[in-house]
Structure 1
Amino acid sequence: MDQTKLKHHTDLKDVREHLIVAYTSVRGDLLHLPNYRVEAFTERLHRHGEDPGWEAVIAYTLDGQPIGYAYANTVEPGNRWWTRMDAPVPAEYTESASLAIKEIGVVPTWRGQGLAQAMHDDLLQHRQEDFVSLLVNPAAGDGKVQRLYEGWGYTRIGSQQPSPESPPLACLGRPVDQTGRR
């Protein structure tokens, strides 16, 4: 972590290429699958970047290479994030605006150093929403990725399949501030 720096961004056009470069490296072994193609990611990124409250945290090496990212946006009650769920989620998530983390990724050679959690925590640090959720493929890393998020305080609140090309995903959620200071 001493060899990296985190930067916040709220305008996609400023960091679009950095996110695509990092994504290509993060998901390199999956790019042959329809939902993981760079074109599919670019389309999602464009759509998410126009959503309210979009914010990204990008990890850079000291020489400026993007090596990880986390980005999210605000989702209001009734948003398709919620309407695609296979069952109703706990009401506190949909009573007011909440935060949806859309992507977290770390370049393989930088994994295992706490970078994903550092970006995640930095992203949540100044958010005004009370609750945050994210989607995870329960099969990713033989369940390791979901267990990682559970270690950050997330619990399963539902599931969905966002597109026909996507695998079924678990929706995990938690309070943004887990210290009770809000």
Structure 2
Amino acid sequence: MLFKILFIVFLSFLPSHSFSISPTVNATDPKAVTWLLGNSAIPAQLAEAGEDIYGPLYVARARVDGEWIPGKGFYNGGTFYAAVAFMGNEIETSDCQALLRGGVSWVPLQRQEQIPSNAVLAGIDPRTREKTYICRGYVDEAGQAWLTVGKVLETRLVCRIPFNGETDTYSFEILVETA
């Protein structure tokens, strides 16, 4: 960690050049959860987490009001985007992060259960200041059920999915660390 900080400080004193630093694996724990800048993510690095009418979906997160909110990631024209649910709206942006494959799995979460202690923490809700976790559930579009990624708040066990605004489902899975 100290090496990373020193390296970044060193880079800041170099003449103006364009640098791109993108982690591909956590050197101390290859099974750890690692986020990658969305614009440097390639599909082979990501685990598919669902699908909608436009194709495969991945786990992503984007900043809203300065806080990370988890949601679905997808490619459009070769560019990686995140769509997150916030206050009844679906917010799309290419300024996002994608979750690298490995070290996680999906487990069902029933409405009366608590968030598992090994659930992947993905952000903080800007409005409520609650921890947000990654979930996925089915939404219906024109008679077709699509497995879609969303967020679940720490105290509200509902999966809020960015889909035609914001869609809620009470039958869903939550992403947990397996390491």
TM-score above 0.5, yes or no: no
Larger radius of gyration: 2
Which TM-score applies when normalising by structure 1? 0.31
Q: Which has the higher strand share?
A: 2
